[in-house]
Amino acid sequence: MNLLITGGCGFLGTNLVGHLASHRPEYHLTVFDLLTYAGAKSNIKSLISKGSVAFVQGDICYPDQLDKVLEYGIDMVINLAAETHVDRSILDPGDFVRSNVFGVQVLLDCCRKKSVPLMHISTDEIYGPAPKGVSFREDAAFSPSSPYAASKASADLLILAAVRTYGQEAMIIRPVNNLGPYQYPEKLIPLFVDRLMRGLPVPVYGDGKQTRYWLYVDDFCSAVELAIEGFSKGECHNLSSQTEISNIDLTRQLIEIIGCKQELIRHVDDRPGHDRRYAIDGSKFVNKFGWLPKFELDRALRNTVKWYQDNPGWLKSRKTKEFEQYFDRQYGSL
Ligand SMILES: NC(=O)c1ccc[n+]([C@@H]2O[C@H](COP(=O)([O-])OP(=O)(O)OC[C@H]3O[C@@H](n4cnc5c(N)ncnc54)[C@H](O)[C@@H]3O)[C@@H](O)[C@H]2O)c1
């Protein structure tokens, strides 16, 4: 199997590439990544130098760049290339429309020309907020609240239209929030872990009672590994976990694991359009693939905290001047 992984230098991509390289050594893996602020080639450096992974720097918005890599007999594309940070999408949605909508259409067109199946990674955020007691199934209406979620919902619509119109070989996976190593430190868990380890306060939006489901990234990778083998054209699959937790309880748990003071919590103005609850029903994927997440939240959090504690150099290298400017703009002098 010759796989092209777009966005393979970001959080999920880095973990997936590492997972497939060790669990599926028979696969040929090529990473195609623009290397935006969120992607780092150094994440997969050792795999590149061992010859387990090939790397091409490129942008999914350019068909000529994609055509060139698709020449090499690619059997499937897994698309993880995207702008992903909700707060940035509120400040400046343009890049999100470019990569997450236009880029996906370009990718679809290029894959179709070469009859290459496309597995697209979407998100639970496309469904919008779920009332208490409700978990959205795959056929629920889209009701995105942020420009990020709207851009992801738009991509799903374009993919589903291509399936119906051209019979295109494409499938969609919609995961809940993931946690684990190599996540850019603007995101809640690495941001909080980094600051708590340094005894700095952490910004919790509003009352912090917004709830999310969390999935350890290793479980995400094992799910994608199964979906590659059981590629199901035209299907959408939610990918959920068993653990729903509020942001404030998650923060308290991180504080406990790291061993610092609960007083480091600072409530800041809520994010505009902040969804109170995401919840999806993941039974379709579980029933089809016999997959279940192995990591309970406490173990996943401990593993994640340990990884950031053991890799201070990684965090330091990702906190560029750009990151500092973003943090100041977002949270001021916290
Ligand atoms: N991380 C999560 O918890 C989560 C949950 C649900 C869905 N998702 C989805 O999974 C995918 C990957 O998320 P992530 O957390 O790894 O994101 P990330 O921001 O960590 O990584 C995105 C990667 O895409 C690359 N990229 C961006 N624009 C590109 C372009 N135009 N061409 C080529 N490469 C480009 C970046 O350089 C980066 O390496 C996204 O589509 C996201 O919406 C993520």
User: What tokens appear for 66 in the block?
Assistant: 């994609």
Test site for ligand 1: of 5, 9, 12, most ligand atoms within 8 A of the Cβ: 12
DSSP H or E run through 196? helix 188-197
Test site for ligand 1: of 80, 87, 148, most ligand atoms within 8 A of the Cβ: 80
Please report, for the chain, the start and end positions of each structural domain, with discontinuous segments joined by +: 2-184+213-244+273-295
pLDDT at 333 over 80: no
Sign, CA dihedral 270-275-237-293, equals: positive
For position 182, what pLDDT does the model report? 98
Give CA angle at 94 (104, 121), nearest 5°: 30
**Is 184's C-beta closer than 6 angstroms to any atom of ligand 1?**
yes
Which is it for strands 177-179 and 244-246: parallel, antiparallel or unpaired? unpaired
Q: Which residues have CB under 8 Å from 51's CB, separation 6+? A: none
Cβ distance 3 to 28 under 8 Å?
yes
Phi-psi region for residue 148, left (φ > 0), alpha (ψ -120 to 50) or beta? alpha
Distance CA(296)–CA(284), nearest Å, equals 20
**Is 56's C-beta closer than 6 angstroms to any atom of ligand 1?**
no
Q: Tell me how long the chain is.
A: 334
Q: For the full predicted model, state whether its pTM sits above 0.75.
A: yes
User: What tokens appear for 108 in the block?
Assistant: 């679809």
pLDDT tens digits, 92-116: 999 999 999 999 999 999 999 999 9
Distance CA(44)–CA(33), nearest Å, equals 12
Has domain 2-184+213-244+273-295 been given CATH number 3.40.630.10? Answer: no
Q: Give the distance (Å) from ligand 1 centre to CA of residue 70.
A: 20
pLDDT tens digits, 27-58: 999 999 999 999 999 999 999 999 999 999 99
User: What tokens appear for 181 in the block?
Assistant: 């190593």
pLDDT tens digits, 263-309: 999 999 999 999 999 999 999 999 999 999 999 999 999 999 999 99
Q: Give the distance (Å) from ligand 1 centre to CA of residue 80.
A: 5
Which active-site residues does the annotation give?
124-125, 148
Q: How many CB atoms lie within 10 A of CB 328?
A: 11
DSSP H or E run through 74? none
Q: Which residues have CB under 8 Å from 310's CB, separation 6+? A: none
**Is 66's C-beta closer than 6 angstroms to any atom of ligand 1?**
no
